[in-house]
Amino acid sequence: MIITLKRTAPAEAVENIIRSFESRNLTVHRSYGENYIVLGLVGDTTQLDERSILANEWVDNVQRVAAPYKLANRMFHPEDTIIDVNGIRIGGNEKIVLMAGPCSIEGLEPTIEIARAVKEAGADMLRGGAYKPRTSPYAFQGLGTEGILDMVRAREETGLPIVTELMDAAQIDEFEQYVDVVQIGARNMQNYTLLKAVGRMHKPVLLKRGMSATIEEWIMSAEYIMASGNPDVIMCERGIRTFEKSTRNTMDPAVIPIIKQRTHLPIVVDPSHATGDWKLIEPVALAAIAAGCDGLIIEVHQHPENAWSDGAQSLKPDRFAALIEKARAVAGAVGREL
């Protein structure tokens, strides 16, 4: 249930209203807007009578929420959430953020080299996999802590914040210490125990959509993180598994405005995993910008033919730079900067 209070409501009156709901075992989340104070009630609200609530002189409106997610719901939080990562703002009508780097971290020298290249091209953040969830148990699983420290060195060299995937709650202390944005991969989108643990972290979370997840299931995973105390969730669309084999996954650009209509959270698009083919990354990235995404996360590698994983969906640095030039034109056409 969403309850809108008048902005002029005295603090004491607001606290009294909140206490009355908490006395009924309801959790109350408050949000202060320019003109209203919004209360989001989580719990069994069937016991509440709208007319009785409206009888309070400081209550402006009462609305029941059909959607099962409350904290991520735009009805509760009408303003866009903007997430600050070391001064880089993601969400709202801010600059479109570019995250770029190799699928897998392959050592210190190549990591620093690619970090410098993507920064020169215009990237805002460095992405890279230190822990790799792979379909085959015999495939390269990542360098682990060594890979994390390689990214830290690259950050020291370039100033680019780092984005990398967390796979296990046992890695949380390491990620709290070294990582700027914690990625939850598609395979872990519905690992609710991990989501709760990540919700207790103090880092922004990039939540990838599961391979077969509906939009509502994806938002509910964001709700798990937010309900555990972490409001800084960035949605990441990377396509879903369908019967189509021409691309690695199927990405519908309509998901971008849908997420923006239903939630207040920023959304980033991953055209590398969506297509699985470097030749398709550019058109899909441009379409995502036109549809209103807040950022792109793109795999870039100096020598894709020799990459330890996913070389086929990695751009070379010069192609990445060329993409950014085109992307700036599209961003400008829709009133954004890049």
> Which CATH number is 14's domain given?
3.30.70.1140
Does residue 293 share a domain with residue 221?
yes
What residue has token string 């409350």? 70
Is there a domain that residue 72 lies in? no
- 184 Cβ contact partners less than 8 Å away, ≥ 6 residues apart: 165, 166, 191, 194, 195, 198, 205, 206, 207, 208, 221
Does residue 223 share a domain with residue 149?
yes
Does residue 305 share a domain with residue 190?
yes
Does residue 190 share a domain with residue 320?
yes
Is there a domain that residue 31 lies in? yes
Alpha carbon 233 to its chain centroid, in Å, reads 5
Is there a domain that residue 74 lies in? no
Does residue 196 share a domain with residue 117?
yes
What is d(CA 274, CA 285) in angstroms, rounded to the nearest whole number?
10
Does residue 238 share a domain with residue 188?
yes
Does residue 150 share a domain with residue 22?
no
Is there a domain that residue 77 lies in? no
Is there a domain that residue 78 lies in? no
Contact at 8 Å (CB) between 164 and 148?
yes
Is there a domain that residue 75 lies in? no
Vertex 20: Cα angle to 77 and 22 (nearest 5): 65
pLDDT (tens, 9 = 90+) of the chain, 338 residues, equals 899 999 899 999 999 999 999 999 999 988 887 788 999 898 888 889 999 999 999 999 998 887 888 899 998 888 999 999 999 999 998 899 999 999 999 999 999 999 999 999 999 999 999 997 777 777 777 899 999 999 999 999 999 999 999 999 999 999 999 999 999 999 999 999 999 999 999 999 999 999 999 999 999 999 999 999 999 999 999 999 999 999 999 999 999 999 999 999 999 999 999 999 999 999 999 999 999 999 999 999 999 999 988 899 999 999 999 999 999 999 999 999 99
Contact at 8 Å (CB) between 111 and 154?
yes
Is there a domain that residue 167 lies in? yes
> What is the SS3 assignment for 200?
coil
Does residue 29 share a domain with residue 169?
no
Element (H, E) at 64: none
Dihedral sign for Cα 197, 200, 205, 210, please.
positive
Q: What total number of domains does the chain contain?
A: 2
> Which CATH number is 187's domain given?
3.20.20.70
Boundary residue ending a domain (15, 31, 63): 63
Residue type, 214: T
Does residue 181 share a domain with residue 314?
yes
Does residue 51 share a domain with residue 123?
no
Is there a domain that residue 125 lies in? yes
Residue 27's domain comprises: 2-63
Does residue 29 share a domain with residue 113?
no
pTM metric for this prediction: 0.87
Does residue 175 share a domain with residue 107?
yes
